[in-house]
Amino acid sequence: MHGPYVAVIGAGQATPKQERVAERVGALLAEAGAVVVSGGRGGVMQASCRGAHERGGLTVGLLPGSDRADGNPYLTVALPTGMGELRNGLVARTVDGLVAVGGGWGTLSEIGFAMRLGRPLVAVGSWTVAGPEDGPSYPTVDTAEAAVSWVLQAISR
């Protein structure tokens, strides 16, 4: 039996700092027994999978295309959806919580799906989204350690 499923979301074209944070998030999640889920491609997705893989963790990639070979080399399971960016809804739907690291418009769509589904979400240097009346919808933190600690505690509640 595996622990919680946690998505690490962020840009396919990430900065070196974002990749370092994502790799640490993946490593910490794997050490906690979580399954790391992502969009399965490069950047933040690959870095988080690399961190988890190096700690013996299980990684799952929900790929946009139809070919398993398009996934990053650190995936334990590559699932080609053939859905393009629409797979972002699947990423949010299949997990117990999410960690956003940096990111572009695709990451913002995953954040929207997560909020709609009521999934615990924490951001490190990513989008900050506030509802029209509610204020900030999720916490932002400065480190991988804080993000993993927060999301795992939120899932266990």
Instruction: Name the band, by pLDDT with cuts 50, 70 and 90, for residue 137.
Output: confident
User: In this structure, how many other beta carbons lie within 10 angstroms of the beta carbon of residue 25?
Assistant: 30
Which tokens in the block code for residue 112? 């929207």
Q: Which domain holds residue 21?
A: 5-156
pLDDT for position 153: 97
Query: CB-side exposure of 69: number of CA atoms within 13 Å?
Result: 0
pLDDT for position 16: 97
Q: How many domains does the chain have?
A: 1
pLDDT for position 4: 98
Query: CB-side exposure of 117: number of CA atoms within 13 Å?
Result: 20
Average pLDDT over residues 52-65: 98
Of residues 44, 39, 43, the one with CA closest to residue 79: 39
| Residue 128, domain CATH | 3.40.50.450
Residue 136 has pLDDT above 80, yes or no: no
pTM across the whole model: 0.96
